[in-house]
């Protein structure tokens, strides 16, 4: 089947990936899933590093046509915002993963640019007390 | 806005990191240039920090200790009283508590206390953030009509998330201080909700 260009924005990081579109189904070849999202299809399930998630027997996550993106998101319990017309989807972080991280009380690290485009990470300031302020002109 | 406090406390092993949740660095630039910060001042158009910390409005502050642990979870606080008449929030309580914590004059909040005061993201909150993330990506590519659908969907999924609802107004070409926001605020408060949720001191 013919593939089309599609963009998966994986937690803020856009990754172009060829997909097949059929009815409401968006399918990726397993090698593209590995390349784009770093999940590998193995006999034991979908794996990333040493973590493997069992694929339900009766499910439709993996078919001969490829890995179904919506079913994949559901299996991972990750939110998926989709715009089929625009050929793009945002794959976010699950509430469970976010909560697990926040419950440790460890402040999540991030790296962002300043006005000059120079990057700074929260972890650069370890060893000092920090007031983090999110604000906006709006 | 936080420059004065930073100058006052910077010799006490303390830093301020501000993160502007504006659609471009150009939007944040006049504010930053007026404040002339010597502290770290960053731009987060994509709202990545809002997602990481479950922030739903601005301003949101977090205290982080020397070990990188949250010492006071998400709270609303201002560096000065410019908007006090509008917000009803006095900057002094937070500033006094912060000074005492930085100088070691007051004990830190216990981890149990931090846990009891922090909020947890729901499944819908994360779905809303995914919608915002897609909308922002489309907006940056000039796909405004498509972006609009997802900005709105995000706001519907998480009506309390003004980081999405108000924060997307400039991206949608709508004045974030104008009638659209006034209506949003009025409806939210008429339903018995608060726009600013302050933690106890």
The domain that holds B84 is classified in CATH as 3.40.30.10
- For chain B, how many structural domains are there in total? 2
- Picking from A99, A105, A128, the nearest residue to B111 by CB comes out as A105
Whether A67 and A33 have beta carbons less than 8 Å apart is answered as yes
B127 and B108 assigned to the same domain: no
Both structure tokens of B196: 């600013």
Residue A16: give the domain boundaries.
4-97
Residue B199 within a domain: no
CA distance B38 to chain A (A): 12
Assess whether B88 and B175 both reside in one domain: no
Q: Are B112 and B130 within one domain?
A: no
Specify if B195 maps to a domain. Answer: no
Structure tokens at B169: 């107004």
Residue B197 lies in a domain: no
Checking DSSP bridges between strand A13-22 and strand A25-28, what pairing results, if any? antiparallel
What pLDDT is stored for residue A117 in this prediction?
A: 96
- Asked if residue A23 has pLDDT above 90, the reply is no
* Surface of A (33-92) touching B: CB under 8 A: 78-83, 85-86, 88-92
Block residue for tokens 């998330």: B161
Could you tell me which of A115, A135, A16, A24 has the C-alpha nearest to residue B141?
Answer: A16
- Residue B186 within any structural domain of the chain: yes
Is B57 found in the same domain as B10?
yes
Distance, in Å, from the CA atom of A24 to the CA atom of A84, rounded to the nearest integer, reads: 8
Q: Are B50 and B42 in contact (CB under 8 A)?
A: no
pLDDT per residue as tens digits for the range A70-119: 999 999 999 999 999 999 999 999 999 999 999 999 999 999 999 999 99
Average pLDDT over residues B127-150: 98
Mutate to test the interface with A, among B2, B5, B10, B20 (most CBs of A within 10 A): B20
Same domain assignment for residues B109 and B172: no
Could you list the residue range(s) of the whole structural domain that residue B17 is in? 3-117
Residues B107 and B157 in one domain: no
Residues B21 and B49 in one domain: yes
Cite the beta strand spans of B56-115 per DSSP E: 60-64, 70-75
* A115 part of a folded domain: no
Q: What is the pLDDT of residues A34-56, one digit of tens each?
A: 999 999 999 889 999 999 999 98
Please report, in angstroms and rounded to a whole number, the separation of the first and last CA atoms in chain A: 47
**Domains contained in chain A, number:** 1
Same domain for B103 and B132? no
User: Residue A49's CB: how many other CB atoms inside 10 A?
Assistant: 7
- Cβ distance B115 to A105 less than 8 Å, yes or no, reads yes
**A89 neighbourhood in chain B, CB within 8 Å:** 134
Q: If you measure CA to CA, which chain B residue comes closest to A128? A: B66
């Amino acid at each position: 089947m013919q593939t089309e260009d599609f963009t998966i924005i994986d937690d803020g990081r856009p990754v172009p990936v060829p997909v097949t579109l059929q009815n409401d189904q968006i399918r990726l070849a397993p090698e593209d899933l590995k390349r784009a999202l770093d999940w590998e299809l193995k006999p034991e399930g979908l794996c990333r590093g040493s973590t493997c998630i069992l694929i339900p027997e009766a499910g439709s996550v993996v078919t001969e046509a490829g890995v179904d993106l919506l079913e994949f998101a559901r299996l991972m319990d990750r939110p998926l915002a989709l715009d089929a017309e625009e050929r793009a989807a945002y794959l976010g972080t699950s509430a469970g993963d976010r909560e697990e991280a926040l419950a440790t009380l460890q402040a999540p690290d991030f790296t962002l640019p300043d006005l000059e485009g120079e990057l700074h990470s929260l972890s650069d300031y370890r060893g000092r007390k920090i007031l983090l302020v999110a604000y906006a002109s709006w | 806005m936080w420059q004065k406090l930073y100058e006052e406390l910077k010799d006490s092993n303390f830093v301020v990191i501000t993160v502007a949740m504006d659609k471009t660095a150009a939007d944040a630039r006049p504010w930053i240039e007026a404040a002339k910060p010597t502290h770290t001042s960053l731009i987060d158009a994509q709202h990545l920090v809002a997602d990481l910390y479950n922030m739903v409005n601005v301003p949101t502050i977090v205290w982080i200790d020397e070990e990188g642990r949250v010492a006071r979870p998400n709270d609303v606080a201002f560096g000065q009283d410019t908007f006090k008449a509008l917000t009803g929030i006095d900057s002094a309580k937070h500033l006094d508590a912060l000074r005492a914590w930085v100088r070691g004059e007051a004990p830190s909040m216990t981890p149990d206390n931090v846990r009891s005061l922090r909020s947890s993201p729901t499944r819908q909150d994360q779905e809303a953030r995914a919608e915002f993330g897609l909308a922002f990506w489309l907006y940056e590519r000039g796909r405004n009509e498509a972006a609009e659908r997802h900005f709105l969907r995000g706001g519907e999924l998480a009506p309390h998330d003004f980081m999405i609802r108000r924060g997307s107004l400039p991206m949608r070409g709508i004045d974030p201080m104008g009638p659209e926001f006034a209506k949003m605020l009025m409806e939210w408060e008429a339903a018995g909700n608060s726009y600013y949720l302050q933690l106890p001191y």
